[in-house]
């Protein structure tokens, strides 16, 4: 079995006060992140999208398999198709599929089946999980097992959302259910499955967000 060669870690030790400052500044910026459901059609530089995806693809992953693909949609007609398919699924879900307790959990957010942001956002990033490796050999297809796909893609998506936010962009973590239509519209191979759909852009000038509360540090952290 091949072994990776080891090289010295590139690590710069920061003075403690710089660490604390950086940590506070990052926290302050991240505390301003919200899910935005009103996105302006105003264009944003593509480099912001590409850099955020570069950042996401640096995330740790099970056995370094990097089981993700980020499909960036900027084409108007593809966005229209995605909106149409998402709204059809969401309408069915809201009106027939979601049990009462799910609808109750969503009620405070004021969301419904309408997804205008899927057409107004300058970019949609569709994150796909690659469930297994697929290579073509003269003998046919070879499959390789992927480990911890869900965890890995979840972490990469977190990196992506943080990077987009830190670049001054608004995002929504959107999971129209079921999401199979994304594989068809975007013509994805059979080893990929949609994970999340992220509209990205600037917020509309009149964008609002629901008043929600985050758990306190005492609720989410335990020290032993």
Ligand X SMILES: Cc1cc2nc3c(=O)[nH]c(=O)nc-3n(C[C@H](O)[C@H](O)[C@H](O)COP(=O)(O)O)c2cc1C
- Residues of the shown chain interacting with ligand X in the complex, contacts defined by CB under 6 A: 34-35, 37, 109, 111, 172-175, 209, 212
Q: Which is nearer to ligand X, 65 or 111 (CB)?
A: 111
| Strand runs labelled E in the chain | 68-73, 123-130, 132-137, 140-145, 170-171, 192-201
Q: Which residue is nearest to ligand X (CB)?
A: 35
Query: C-alpha 62: how far from its chain's center?
Result: 18
Q: Which is nearer to ligand X, 14 or 109 (CB)?
A: 109
Least distance (Å) from ligand X to the CB of residue 67?
17
- With H, G, I as helix, E, B as strand and everything else as coil, classify residue 35: strand
Least distance (Å) from ligand X to the CB of residue 215?
11
Q: Which is nearer to ligand X, 48 or 207 (CB)?
A: 207
- CA distances 185 to 128, 146, 160, 170, Å, are 13, 25, 23, 24
Cα–Cα distance for residue pair 204/76, rounded to 1 Å: 18
Least distance (Å) from ligand X to the CB of residue 146?
20
Least distance (Å) from ligand X to the CB of residue 35?
3
Cα–Cα distance for residue pair 117/71, rounded to 1 Å: 17
Q: Which is nearer to ligand X, 23 or 208 (CB)?
A: 208
Query: How do 132-137 and 140-145 pair as beta strands?
Result: antiparallel
Least distance (Å) from ligand X to the CB of residue 88?
14
Q: Which is nearer to ligand X, 34 or 193 (CB)?
A: 34
Cα–Cα distance for residue pair 79/122, rounded to 1 Å: 9
């Amino acid at each position: 079995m091949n072994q990776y060669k080891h090289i010295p870690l590139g690590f710069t030790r920061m003075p403690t006060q710089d660490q604390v400052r950086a940590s506070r500044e990052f926290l302050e910026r991240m505390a301003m992140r919200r899910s935005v459901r009103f996105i302006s059609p105003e264009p944003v530089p593509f480099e912001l999208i590409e850099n955020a995806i570069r950042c996401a693809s640096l995330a740790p992953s099970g056995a370094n398999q990097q089981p993700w693909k980020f499909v960036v949609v900027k084409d108007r007609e593809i966005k229209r198709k995605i909106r149409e398919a998402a709204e059809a699924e969401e309408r069915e879900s809201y009106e027939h599929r979601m049990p009462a307790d799910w609808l109750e959990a969503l009620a405070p957010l004021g969301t419904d089946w309408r997804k205008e942001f899927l057409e107004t956002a300058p970019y949609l990033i569709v994150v796909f999980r690659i469930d297994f490796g697929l290579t073509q050999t003269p003998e046919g297809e070879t499959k390789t097992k992927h480990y911890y796909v869900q965890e890995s893609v979840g972490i990469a998506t977190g990196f992506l959302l943080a990077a987009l936010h830190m670049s001054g962009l608004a995002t929504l973590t959107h999971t129209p259910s079921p999401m199979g239509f994304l594989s068809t519209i975007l013509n994805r191979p059979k080893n990929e499955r949609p994970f999340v759909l992220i509209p990205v852009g600037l917020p509309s000038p009149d964008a609002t967000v629901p008043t929600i509360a985050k758990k306190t540090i005492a609720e989410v952290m335990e020290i032993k």
